[in-house]
Amino acid sequence: MPACWLPRRADAISVIGTALLAKAAGAGHRPIAVRLNRSASTVRGWLRRFAANAEALWAWFTRLLHALDPQAGPVMPTGSVFADAVEAVGRAASAAVLRLSPRCPWELAGRATGGRLLAPVPPRSG
């Protein structure tokens, strides 16, 4: 499966990533759904799944960030575990683009989690 898709998801990871970014910025699932022209229940499902794994995803992508860029500063807490996890994904993706090659940040997230960004069990470290 190409990295721009997640298993069992009908939308490209970049669309899901756009929803995650909007939620991290404070938008609710209904306005996000309207903006993306998706059903509210679909967007709500993405956001709930990511939120359920946010702490583990934050840890996973923070470790990946520092593996790709050992001199990277810490991912500073924002007061929202969801937003912190999105920030860690973005910073790790940016480090990967600089170090490896230009790619969509959300494709990196898909690759780094083995397609399990929204899976019930987050990726394991190690």
Whether 48 is covered by a domain: the verdict is: yes
Whether 4 is covered by a domain: the verdict is: no
Can you read off the two tokens belonging to residue 78?
């924002």
User: 3-class DSSP state for residue 47?
Assistant: helix
Whether 54 is covered by a domain: the verdict is: yes
pLDDT of residue 123: 60
Rounded-to-5 percentages of helix, strand, coil across the chain: 60, 0, 40
> pLDDT (tens digit, 0 to 9) for every residue of the chain, 126 residues total?
344 545 566 677 788 889 999 999 999 999 999 999 999 999 999 999 999 999 999 999 999 999 999 999 988 898 899 999 999 999 998 888 888 766 677 777 777 777 777 887 666 655
Task: Tell me the DSSP string of 74-92.
Answer: -----S-HHHHHHHHHHHH
Number of domains in the chain: 1
**Entry field: residues in the chain:** 126
Whether 92 is covered by a domain: the verdict is: yes
pLDDT of residue 103: 67
Full domain range(s) for residue 89: 13-112
- The predicted model scores a pTM of 0.75
Whether 117 is covered by a domain: the verdict is: no
Q: Which residue has the tokens 């721009």?
A: 4
Whether 121 is covered by a domain: the verdict is: no
